[in-house]
Amino acid sequence: MQKRLIRKLDLEMLLSQVEPHPSPKPSLEQYTIPADVAATILYIAAYTHNDIVDKTVLDLGCGTGRLALGAAFLGAKQVVGVDIDKTAIKVACENSVKTGLKNRVQWIAADIDVVHGKFDTVLQNPPFGVQRRKADRKFLEKALEVGEIIYSLHKSSRKDKVFIKKLKTRGTNIVSVSPSSFIEKFVGEHGGTIRAVYAMLMTVPHMFNFHTKRKHEFVVDLYVIKGE
Ligand SMILES: C[S@@+](CC[C@H](N)C(=O)[O-])C[C@H]1O[C@@H](n2cnc3c(N)ncnc32)[C@H](O)[C@@H]1O
């Protein structure tokens, strides 16, 4: 188990070896989190808030495993990754071998509904609800039910060029922002409390037919939430 501080560059290099989904389905919004964004989230969770090392970690909608494998690499005590898609889980297993983290994550091919119990930390990059409205709410509900602390990524409504430029020019590429009123209300109604929100830029390559540009750059907000 990893106890020493890992350099962010080393984490990012490991995560860049994690293969994406070979045939992503638009209906499940199966894009893979970019390695730099995953490393930033894991770094904040591990070293700003102390929520990874020696903790039990659940990755809801784990896809091919970037967040789960990153948590294992940083020294989580136990990691579980759940995804509804069997191909994603098969590739996640292969990725755990490729990254030298075989048997460090328990992979489950199932709907997140099957998850019960309690985890110290939930990490999730859920479907943003772009294809299926409200898809992210089910993830937030489950995370609030089973997690003590939740790191949840959501698409931001911020699109202004000045804000994006600010994110690009800052050395760390993250800016603290206020929560969306909808998520704040939703979290409150489910017994949670928002601890922090960090905005960052995410760039995803052209993946689906409805993507009109070669790559798509947009702002995402990482919510750090205390569960019930
Ligand atoms: C945006 S992708 C993120 C994948 C991965 N966590 C990452 O960040 O690279 C969302 C993932 O949620 C999974 N998913 C969608 N609905 C699900 C459900 N009801 N139960 C479990 N997984 C689900 C999809 O198959 C997909 O892999």
Mean pLDDT of 40-69: 97
Q: How far is CA 47 from CA 50, 120, 166, in A?
A: 5, 15, 24
Top mutation candidate among 21, 84, 140, 142 for ligand 1, by most atoms within 8 Å of CB:
84
Residue with tokens 């995560």: 15
Confirm whether 40 is domain-assigned. yes
Top mutation candidate among 69, 85, 95, 128 for ligand 1, by most atoms within 8 Å of CB:
85
Tell me which residue range forms the domain holding 204: 8-226
Confirm whether 3 is domain-assigned. no
- What SS3 state is found at 34? coil
Confirm whether 2 is domain-assigned. no
CA 218/CA 57 separation, integer angstroms: 27
pLDDT at position 166: 84
* 153 CA to centre of ligand 1 in angstroms: 12
pLDDT at position 86: 97
Q: How far is CA 128 from CA 10, 56, 132, 137, in A?
A: 28, 25, 8, 9
CATH of the domain at 132: 3.40.50.150
Confirm whether 199 is domain-assigned. yes
Question: Mind listing the pLDDT tens digit for each residue in 124-142?
Answer: 999 987 666 778 899 999 9
Rounded to two decimals, what is the model's pTM? 0.94
Q: What domain count does the chain have?
A: 1
Question: Mind listing the pLDDT tens digit for each residue in 151-181?
Answer: 999 999 888 888 888 888 766 689 999 999 9
Question: 169 Cβ partners below 8 Å, 6+ apart?
Answer: none
